[in-house]
Amino acid sequence: MKFRWSRAACGVLAVASLGAALSGCVALVGGSAVMAGMSVADRRTTGTQVEDQGIELRANNRIAEVLGDKAHVNVTSYNRQVLLTGEAGNEADRQTIEKLVREQPTVRNVFNEVVVAPFTSTLSQRSKDTLITTQVKASLLDAKDIQASAFKVVTENKVVFLMGIVTPREAKRGAEIARGINDVTKVVRVVEVISEDELARMQPQSAPVVTDDSGKAAAASAPTSLSESSLSTPAGATATPVK
């Protein structure tokens, strides 16, 4: 499939480029940087998004402390379920990485996709992976039958991992979109599956129009909000290779 840059795709690429340019400024803004990364369209609560960032930070620090440069690992947490990608020098180190992450507070599950292999991911390869991720995100954004914000996209050595809280229809459609991107060798879904009814309950509810006895519009009640627990109901995620 030839990837065509739509207006939405260009917007995603521009944001990605801006993010890279500003990455060195994060330490200057303290707690504001964390909140700036929160998305109101995300199906996780704001609290869970903060927890996920904390898990990633603690896990990365712990892996670096124990293994140093003996492994190249990417830690991605979504709804407190952690995906590990990258390379380890041997199976013992690979298992150590998983153990260190499982020990982190609030982690619900760990999907260890680290491979035992030489550290072959060069700057060029990582740039290609970044481009693939950008293209997948842009294609999800362009799709009219799916919510791009429902997915977290991770690419490692041309393998695309899709994380999220999604319906079976969304999981299938997201994988179809990712498979259509040039250079993608495999797509793996690491998702928590919910029903269409559960998805409908997650959507913001419009405030009803209330009328008094005379038929005039009265003050409407506030929209229903979702609690932390109501967004944490999906069962554990499953990892499903689809290509």
Task: Outline which parts of the chain fall under CATH 3.30.1340.30.
Answer: 42-116
Q: What is the pLDDT of residues 181-225, one digit of tens each?
A: 999 999 999 999 999 999 998 876 655 444 555 555 544 333 333
Sites in the chain below the pLDDT cut of 70: 1-40, 120-121, 204-239, 242-243
**Predicted local confidence at residue 135, as pLDDT:** 98
**Predicted local confidence at residue 215, as pLDDT:** 53
Structure token pair of residue 20: 């890279």
| Phi, psi angles (nearest 5°) of residue 186 | -160, 150
Instruction: Enter the pTM of the model.
Output: 0.72
CB 141 within 8 A of CB 14: no
Domain 42-116: which CATH number of 3.40.720.10, 1.10.10.10, 3.30.1300.10, 3.30.1340.30? 3.30.1340.30
Angle at 42 between CA 40 and CA 59, to 5 degrees: 115
E-strand stretches of the chain: 71-78, 81-88, 109-112, 115-116, 151-156, 159-166, 186-193, 210-211, 217-218, 238-241
Residues found in the chain: 243
**Predicted local confidence at residue 30, as pLDDT:** 40
Dist CA 165 CA 170 (whole Å): 9
| Phi, psi angles (nearest 5°) of residue 180 | -80, 0
CB 158 within 8 A of CB 188: no
**Predicted local confidence at residue 124, as pLDDT:** 85
CATH number of 121-203: 3.30.1340
Dist CA 82 CA 107 (whole Å): 7
